[in-house]
């Protein structure tokens, strides 16, 4: 099998939970302190060995392309002024990494977004899908674990995490077979079930490694009641065809598609900096 070297970033969502900020700024550019969510996601992909980034965009998302563009004039100014810490911050993408932008055209869901990448994937190739608003802090690169397992087994592989019952209806939820260390075969998957219908506590989080056959599966599934093509429905087809495996995430994840997750992610990163930690503690002490 070909080495997995491409990652798809669906970034066409409307970000309605962050309006009015997302009127002109894609939600993937919202920063955790000073670095946008999409850059964290891209760094995770590159660190895991990904060489081609495929962004599935919608109109008004040019800012994501701009973010990864070189700024030679400003860079030269910082170099001349010996401001190397600023030069580092400007270098948002290594030059050897290829990036491609594909317009989604219509907002028809995550499955539809992934389908747009088909012309760029070869038939014997697996590829990663990364949802940048699932912000992950981990000692070991979570995508790399997925890629290793997918390459070993040659099967679709997804990341899951135990989710509290009150949130389970916001996730795709799996019915796992027996766990072997951190992974299990998936027997069934349901998109956003009511808590009583959830087959386990394990919700799918935004890291997937998929085979080319997912495109045929996506073409085969019908739209849901919201006129969206769900990636989960295509994963159901893969379970029957070639299998699906799930890996438990080792690390901390923040759902930055929600306001509380976004605020907590900012706090989490801020509190890793001694000065900011001191200031936050000092500020919070006034609330007791
Ligand atoms: C999507 C998927 C869902 C998954 C989630 C992870 O939902 O449809 O299966 O659990 O991402 O973030 P969304 O958050 O786009 O509604």
Total residue length of the chain: 288
Please give the number of the atom of ligand 1 that sits closest to the Cα of 13: 15
Residue 158's pLDDT band (boundaries 50, 70, 90)? very high
Q: Check whether 203 has a pLDDT greater than 90.
A: yes
pLDDT digits (tens, 9 = 90+) for 74-109: 999 999 999 999 999 998 999 999 999 999 988 899
pTM score, whole prediction: 0.95
Mean pLDDT of 5-29: 92
What SS3 class is residue 187? strand
pLDDT digits (tens, 9 = 90+) for 226-280: 999 999 999 999 999 999 999 999 999 999 999 999 999 999 999 999 999 999 9
Q: Check whether 177 has a pLDDT greater than 70.
A: yes
Radius of gyration, alpha carbons of the chain: 20
Q: Which of 17-26, 118-127, 231-240 bottoms out in mean pLDDT, i.e. has the lowest?
A: 17-26
CB atoms within 10 A of CB 272: 10
Please give the number of the atom of ligand 1 that sits closest to the Cα of 203: 10
Q: Check whether 60 has a pLDDT greater than 70.
A: no
In 41-169, the DSSP E strands lie at: 52-57, 98-103, 126-130, 134-137, 156-162
Mean pLDDT computed over every residue of the chain: 95
172 lines ligand 1 (CB under 6 A): yes
Percent of the chain past pLDDT 70, that is, above it, reads 99
Query: At 31, which helix (H) or strand (E)?
Result: strand 31-32
Regarding beta strands 134-137 and 172-176, do their DSSP bridges make them parallel or antiparallel, or are they unpaired?
A: unpaired
Mean pLDDT of 162-166: 96
Distance 113 CA to ligand 1 centre (A): 13
Residue 63 φ then ψ, to 5°: -60, -30
CA distance 28 to 132: 6
Q: Check whether 15 has a pLDDT greater than 90.
A: no
Distance 92 CA to ligand 1 centre (A): 27
- Residue 56's pLDDT is 96
């Amino acid at each position: 099998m070909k080495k997995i070297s491409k990652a798809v970033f669906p970034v066409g969502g409307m970000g309605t939970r962050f309006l009015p900020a997302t009127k002109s700024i894609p939600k993937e550019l919202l920063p955790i302190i000073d670095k946008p969510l999409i850059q964290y996601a891209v760094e995770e992909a590159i660190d895991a060995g990904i060489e081609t980034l495929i962004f599935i965009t919608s109109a008004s998302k040019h800012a994501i392309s701009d973010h990864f563009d070189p700024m030679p004039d400003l860079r030269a100014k910082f170099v001349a002024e010996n401001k190397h810490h600023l030069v580092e911050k400007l270098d948002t993408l290594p030059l050897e990494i290829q990036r491609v932008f594909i317009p989604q055209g219509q907002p028809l869901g995550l499955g539809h977004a992934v389908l747009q990448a088909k012309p760029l994937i070869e038939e014997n190739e697996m590829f990663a899908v990364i949802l940048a608003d699932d912000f992950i802090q981990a000692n070991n690169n979570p995508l790399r674990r997925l890629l290793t397992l997918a390459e070993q087994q040659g099967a679709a592989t997804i990341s899951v995490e135990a989710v509290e019952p009150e949130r389970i209806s916001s996730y795709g939820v799996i019915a796992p077979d027996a766990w072997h260390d951190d992974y299990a075969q998936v027997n069934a998957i349901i998109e956003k079930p009511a808590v009583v219908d959830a087959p386990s506590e394990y919700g799918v989080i935004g890291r997937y490694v998929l085979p080319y056959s997912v495109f045929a599966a996506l073409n085969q599934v019908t739209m849901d009641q919201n006129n969206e093509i769900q990636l989960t429905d295509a994963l159901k087809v893969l379970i029957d065809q070639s299998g699906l495996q799930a890996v438990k995430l080792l690390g901390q994840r923040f759902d930055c598609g929600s306001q509380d997750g976004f605020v907590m992610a900012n706090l989490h990163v801020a509190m890793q900096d001694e000065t900011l930690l001191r200031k936050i503690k000092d500020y919070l002490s006034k609330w007791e």
